[in-house]
Amino acid sequence: MSSKVALVTGAQRGIGRAIALKAGALGYAVAVNYVEEREEAEAVADAIRSAGGTAMAVRGDLGDVASIEGMVAAVDSAWGRIDALVNNAGIFPRVPLLKMRESDWDPVLDINLKGSCFATIAAAKVMIRQGIAGSVVNMASSAIRGGPRAVHYAASKGGIVAMTRGMAVELAPHRIRVNAVAPGLTNTLQPRQGMSEDEVRERSAALPLGRMAEPEEIADAVAFLMGGAASMITGQTLHVNSGDYRP
């Protein structure tokens, strides 16, 4: 395989789908990860192939380390390399703090934080073995500032920011850069799982730039951090949120 390879987790819809399509357009062979929605993931891979690219759907449960390792091994077996990993997969089941149970907390931290950690470990080992100057992009969120019914989610995304910094230091000697993108309100299914359509419109109109982001705009930020234009950027979090959160 002569072209570069990108593995995008949670790539069957939303932001992950946009990232996978962007990576394909940039010439990466793309591994489209899913856990349950195989038909959606295959449709994304088909779209990349229809545009002249190379892609495959690959199953992997980001809440299970053995499944993560199997996913990375499948990509390595198919294409012999991984140049970029995008840890996009995540869940956000909204729960008020005083009603939160261990069964609410654990899956969010397992998939969003632990899954991103162990996917990075597995992919970095492939990059190091192949001598690849690779890139990892983790998905944080403007939710790190806190919000209602989101303590577990905010904790997982705050952990992503701190983890990104630590990973960047440890992997720099191997020429692997690690950064994060922190989206704000984005035009996907996620905000509609906790707000009505009217509330989504009101929130969008109140943003400094007057609208929420489109998934493709988040994908553009991820693509920048993946590529050579960001060759001296590591350990950073890039906020893409219409000016709503200005750390």
Q: Which residues are marked as active site?
A: 153
- Reference 61, options 43, 74, 46, 48; nearest CA is 74
Q: How many residues does the chain have?
A: 247
Q: CB-based burial of residue 131 (10 Å sphere; 0-12 exposed, 13-18 middle, 19+ buried)?
A: exposed
Pairing between β-strand 135-139 and β-strand 84-87 as defined by DSSP bridges? parallel
Residue with tokens 């009505």: 196
Q: Taking the C-alpha atoms of 204, 43, 113 and 184 in order, what is their torsion angle to the nearest 10 degrees?
A: -10
Largest Cα–Cα separation, the chain: 53
Q: How is 103-140 classified by DSSP, letter by letter?
A: HHHHHHIIIIIIHHHHHHHHHHHHHHHHT---EEEEE-
